[in-house]
């Protein structure tokens, strides 16, 4: 009996440590979906906790019973455990062993199906107010955010209003990349010549981190950006600030952006006193996004001098 209580206590300690670890992660991970800043990340968190709880239904009995069985049925003198060498079947045990996992898988499948449809990145299901349209271009090693309806663009800083849906259309002008703002929405891939979509909403004013999660070379660790969720009035002020302090985004400035440079290097090349130390502001003179996208749809291979990273179009910064 003492051994059984000890085994149960050990299992409870393991479960408690797991819960404390998750709680600690939630407390410090301000850039994690475990600390959600919007409804999409909140649903993701709920789905994870629900799935974890269901899995624990199968895991905790194993953690308890395996040590208990090993101790109770060990070989020893004066043992009280029943010795049944001819035993081979128990209907109750079979029902429990197979029924519980089947039930868990069925529930997990149901919740996964429900969450998958609820969190469809193409779905504009959060909020009724017209969404802010943002076009996103992945480069080496930076993200370019275009606001076609507002006539501005930015690098290193992604400004969005709170309580209003943001509809994003993503592509890259280089290799495939993976866009992610963990505390707002899950990751989605972006590929050259193709577009993907992502919708997100921020609940409260907050500064969050976004990044590329697809390794793409030496500047990968610096391909991060600041996501700033702000009230509507503050967002309007930010737009005016970008428009006033921005430089024109034309062929020349875009060629500099397209070079294989990290955030600090491109900041040194294009930054001005009217911009933050870790962000670039631009004004739009043309439909940059469509021109980038359509370069891959001519029906012919893209010449080397038209590809970012080449010596003719924009070479990697020399160390």
Q: Decide if pLDDT at 134 tops 70.
A: yes
Tell me the pLDDT tens digit for each residue of 235-294.
999 999 999 999 999 988 998 998 889 889 999 999 999 999 999 999 998 899 999 998
Which one is predicted more confidently, 112 or 146?
146
Query: Does 25 or 74 have the greater pLDDT score?
Result: 74
Tokens of 31: 């850039």
**18 close to 48: Cβ distance less than 8 angstroms:** no
Q: How far apart are CA 64 and CA 62, in angstroms?
A: 5
Alpha-helical regions (H) of the chain: 2-28, 39-72, 91-118, 232-245, 251-257, 263-270, 288-294
pLDDT band at 316 (very low <50, low <70, confident <90, very high): low
Question: What is each CA distance from 200 to 42, 75, 113, 135, 252, in whole angstroms?
Answer: 12, 60, 20, 13, 32
pLDDT for position 27: 39
Share of the chain above pLDDT 70, in %: 87
CA distance 245 to 53: 51
Tokens 């994870």, residue located: 48
Report d(CA 90, CA 49) in Å as an integer.
34
More confidently predicted of 29 and 316: 316
Identify which has the larger pLDDT, 144 or 311.
144
Q: What does each C-alpha distance from 59 to 4, 33, 54, 63, 203 come to in angstroms? A: 17, 24, 9, 6, 35
Rounded Cα distance, 299 and 262, in Å: 31
Alpha helices in 79-174 (DSSP H): 91-118
In this predicted structure, what is the pLDDT of residue 317?
A: 53
Which of the four pLDDT bands, split at 50, 70 and 90, describes residue 209?
Answer: very high
Round to whole Å and give the CA distance between 146 and 280.
12
Residue 208 CB coordination number (10 Å): 23
- The pTM (predicted TM-score) of the whole model is 0.79
Report the DSSP beta bridge partners of residue 169: 135, 197
Give percent above pLDDT 90 in the chain.
47
**Over residues 134-143, mean pLDDT:** 95
Contacts of residue 26, defined as CB under 8 A and 6 or more positions apart, other chains included, come to 32, 34, 35
């Amino acid at each position: 009996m003492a051994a059984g209580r000890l085994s149960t206590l050990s299992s409870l300690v393991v479960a408690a440590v797991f819960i404390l670890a998750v709680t600690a992660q939630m407390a410090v991970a301000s850039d994690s979906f475990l600390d959600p800043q919007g409804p999409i990340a909140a649903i993701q968190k709920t789905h994870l906790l629900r799935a974890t709880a269901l899995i624990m239904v199968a895991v905790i009995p194993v953690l308890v019973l395996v040590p208990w069985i090993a101790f109770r049925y060990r070989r020893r003198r004066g043992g009280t455990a029943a010795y049944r060498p001819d035993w081979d079947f128990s209907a109750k045990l079979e029902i429990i062993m197979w029924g519980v996992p089947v039930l868990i898988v069925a529930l997990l499948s149901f919740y996964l199906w429900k969450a998958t449809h609820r969190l469809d990145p193409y779905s504009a299901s959060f909020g009724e107010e017209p969404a802010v349209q943002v076009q996103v271009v992945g480069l080496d090693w930076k993200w370019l955010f275009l606001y076609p309806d507002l006539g501005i663009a930015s690098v290193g800083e992604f400004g969005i209003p709170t309580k209003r849906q943001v509809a994003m259309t993503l592509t890259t002008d280089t290799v495939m990349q993976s866009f992610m703002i963990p505390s707002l929405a899950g990751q989605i891939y972006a590929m050259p010549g193709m577009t993907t979509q992502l919708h997100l909403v921020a609940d409260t004013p907050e500064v969050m981190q976004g990044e590329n999660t697809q390794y793409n070379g030496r500047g990968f660790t610096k391909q991060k950006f600041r996501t700033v969720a702000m009230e509507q009035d503050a967002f309007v002020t930010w737009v005016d600030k970008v428009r006033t302090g921005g430089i024109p985004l034309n062929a020349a400035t875009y060629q500099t952006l397209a070079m294989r440079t990290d955030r600090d290097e491109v900041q040194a090349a294009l930054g001005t006193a009217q911009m933050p130390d870790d962000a670039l502001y631009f004004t739009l003179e043309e439909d940059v996004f469509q021109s980038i996208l359509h370069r891959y749809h001519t029906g012919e291979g893209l010449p080397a001098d038209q590809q970012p990273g080449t010596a003719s179009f924009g070479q990697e910064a020399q160390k």
